A and B are shown apart, each in its own frame.
Chain A
Amino acid sequence: MDKVVVSVVDDKLDVLPKVVADLRRAGLVVDEVLEPLGVVTGSIEPDAIWSLETVPGVSGVERQRTVRLSPPTSPS
């Protein structure tokens, strides 16, 4: 499973639960629905990621990146 973040277009934010249900049907295992951001986080089989992009109301699908502290901030 790959972890992904999915963003939803402005004019579907008032029907976010419907979009989330469609995302689940497309194979997304939902972690969180971040309503203030219009973003859904979750995980999905790598070969099914494309199907999320076809869900009505989805504006973007991205694999989650690992974000870290980088030198020289890191304490020794």
Chain B
Amino acid sequence: MAQPTDVETTGRYLVLLEEDSVAAGMSAINRVAGIRTVSTADAAGASASDQFGAANGLMLHELGVAVVDAGPEQVSRLNRAAAEPGPISVVEPERVVHAIAVEASAPEAAAVDESTFTWGVQAVSANLSNATGAGIRVAVLDTGVDKTHPDLAGRTLVTSSFVNGEDVQDGHGHGTHCIGTSCGPRTPQTLPGYGIAHQAEIYAGKVLGNRGSGDDGGILAGISWAITNGCAVVSMSLGADVAPGTAYSQVYEQAAQRAMSRGTLIIAAAGNASDRHNGRIAPVGHPANCPSVMAVAAIDVRGGIAPFSSGTVDTIGQVDLAAPGVDVHSSWPMPTRYRRISGTSMATPHVSGVAALIAQQTGARGWELWAWLVQSAHRLPLPSTDVGAGLVQAP
């Protein structure tokens, strides 16, 4: 359990369980260390922090990971159990994770004047383009949207939820942020302007629950909905990390090809699984690793690759384009109104917005739209394995 000494930890521990061993793992943790865990699978609606207070461990059911409060003696017991055969696989101190935005952007604050437009709008030259996205339908498949956000007032906003038991109202914030970047306003009452395709028709499909996760069935249903509604662009700031060498999904690939043949281009986040400060580049995640899904990496305000941005590490998934994804200002559910966050999730809607602008100006759809996006991107002095064809550019 060697850990670098400079890593900030919370005093809690993560217990990773073997595949499909959640129930056995919960009882093993109790038996070995006397720690009672409650499972996220049993408490729909309650937030993770609410649940943690009720016991001394929280089982993240979908991850097969328990977060536990453990003293030194309990930790050594858990470590002994991890070394032996059984449901407990790995024990690690829980790390404190900081928003990349805070670390990466503070010294750069003056590098770009954001008084009128965000750095992202300027980096993709959207502020210099006459195109607005008018008449183009953009589907954003995410955690939904805050329909009451004043910056979306008066816009065409069509919504549908593909999450059981949750309406489209965004209880998370991520979806509202992504919609803001791809389709939000250029001249909101409170500057800076942050939306790329600021007159596009917004189709907000909720495929991730308010806790930020969903399954393939809901996502494919969302893509199908977008095609049926004639959306030229589907923006998906979501993904599942994969191990190097993992085959891409044949089902998604075929679905993406069919979407293309119907004039719908799917754009997805490459993933945030890299740790480039420590020399680790993770492969493009699912479903961005499908050949017919456009995979988007994140760059920062200096044009450098974001440390978390997943990259091309094998011949299966490859990065196609890059876009601003560090310290991105956009809309957030009221009353917060705005937030700055980072991720390939934030880069993706920059590309989706530009795709809508190009679709409006050229009439291109599907593979032709893909070609326009790639051909017009600004090349960057970075490996194509990290940024593909480069920084996406508005027409």
CB–CB A36/B262 < 8 A: yes
Which residue of A31, A32, A72 contacts B308 across the interface (Cβ within 8 Å)? A72
CB–CB A73/B343 < 8 A: yes
CB–CB A64/B215 < 8 A: yes
Most buried by A among B174, B221, B224, B342: B224
> A62 on the interface (CB 8 Å rule)?
yes
CB–CB B97/A71 < 8 A: yes
CB–CB B224/A39 < 8 A: yes
| Closest Cβ neighbor of B104 among chain A residues | A72
The secondary-structure label for the interface of chain B is mixed
Across-interface contacts of A74 in B (CB, < 8 A): 174, 212
Which residue of A61, A65, A75 contacts B173 across the interface (Cβ within 8 Å)? A75
Across-interface contacts of B182 in A (CB, < 8 A): none
Task: Give the total of B residues in contact with A, Cβ under 8 Å.
Answer: 50
Q: Contact size class for A? A: 20 to 34
Most buried by B among A36, A39, A69, A75: A69
Across-interface contacts of B273 in A (CB, < 8 A): 70
In residues 32-76 of chain A, which contact B (Cβ within 8 Å)?
Answer: 32, 34-39, 41, 59-62, 64-76
CA distance A73 to B347 in the complex (A): 11
Which residue of B223, B272, B339 contacts A75 across the interface (Cβ within 8 Å)? B339
Across-interface contacts of B212 in A (CB, < 8 A): 68-69, 74
Q: Which residues of A contact B (CB under 8 A)?
A: 3, 5-7, 31-32, 34-39, 41, 59-62, 64-76
Extra contacts, 18 of them, besides A65-B215, A73-B342 (Cβ < 8 A), are A3-B215, A3-B216, A5-B220, A6-B251, A7-B250, A36-B228, A36-B259, A37-B220, A37-B254, A38-B258, A59-B250, A59-B254, A66-B213, A68-B213, A69-B143, A72-B100, A72-B343, A73-B345
